Amino acid sequence: MKNTACRDAQDQLVEYIEGELDKTQHALLARHLETCADCQKELKEIERLRATLVSEQAPEPGAAFWESFPDRVWRAYQSEQTAAPRQRGAGLQGLLERCGSLWYRRC
Ligand SMILES: [Zn+2]
């Protein structure tokens, strides 16, 4: 079960990892993570996903990988697509484009 604080925290995890939160939000989230095992788990999951995708030697992920693919990553991606165009570098977007190609290859 997730409370509101956790939902808010987990919505921000991708930006947290990308270093896109402002100082205050970053500090608040860091403090929440120190005390919340659920959110720590989510953070690790997203970091693992990043590490897998960033690695050139990444093996084809299994079905379980995609089943656990964090919804919020797609949400972040979609909101990025619909937002006014702005430069965000190759970070998350490049990562997600690689996710997307892996995804379609599997279909
Ligand atoms: Zn939490």
- 96 Cα: distance to centroid of ligand 1 (angstroms): 24
- 33 Cα: distance to centroid of ligand 1 (angstroms): 6
pLDDT at 50: 82
pLDDT (tens digit per residue) in 57-101: 556 667 666 666 666 676 666 666 665 554 444 456 666 666 655
pTM of the model: 0.50
Q: Is the pLDDT of residue 47 over 70?
A: yes
pLDDT at 68: 66
- 29 Cα: distance to centroid of ligand 1 (angstroms): 9
pLDDT at 24: 96
Q: How many H helices and E strands in the chain?
A: 7, 0
Per-residue tokens: 22: 């402002």
- 4 Cα: distance to centroid of ligand 1 (angstroms): 9
pLDDT (tens digit per residue) in 20-42: 999 999 999 999 999 999 999 99
- 28 Cα: distance to centroid of ligand 1 (angstroms): 11
Q: How many CB atoms lie within 10 A of CB 72?
A: 16
- 53 Cα: distance to centroid of ligand 1 (angstroms): 25
Ordered by start, the domain boundaries in the chain are: 4-55, 66-98
